[in-house]
Amino acid sequence: MNDQLDVDIHDVNVLNEIEMMTNLIIATSESDGPLTQDQIDSILGINNDTNDV
């Protein structure tokens, strides 16, 4: 039987987005409440110092 979810992904950008979303889902499931914007930014690897525009 062919598994529709067993696919090779060759697009590096898509793989990175999947990894970021997976990390957010894991962090959210382990959190007692909503994540703060700072927590989300940290998980996504966003440096807050450069976002003050």
- pTM exceeds cut of 0.85: no
User: pLDDT tens digits for 2-46?
Assistant: 777 777 778 888 889 999 999 999 999 999 999 999 999 999 999
Give the Cα separation of 34 and 28 in Å (integer).
Answer: 7
pLDDT at 23: 96
Residue 23 amino acid letter: N
Q: Is the pLDDT of residue 53 over 70?
A: no
pLDDT at 9: 74
Query: Helix, strand, coil proportions of the chain in percent (round to 5)?
Result: 55, 0, 45
pLDDT at 50: 56
Give the Cα separation of 5 and 27 in Å (integer).
Answer: 24
Give the Cα separation of 26 and 45 in Å (integer).
Answer: 15
Domain boundaries in the chain? 12-50
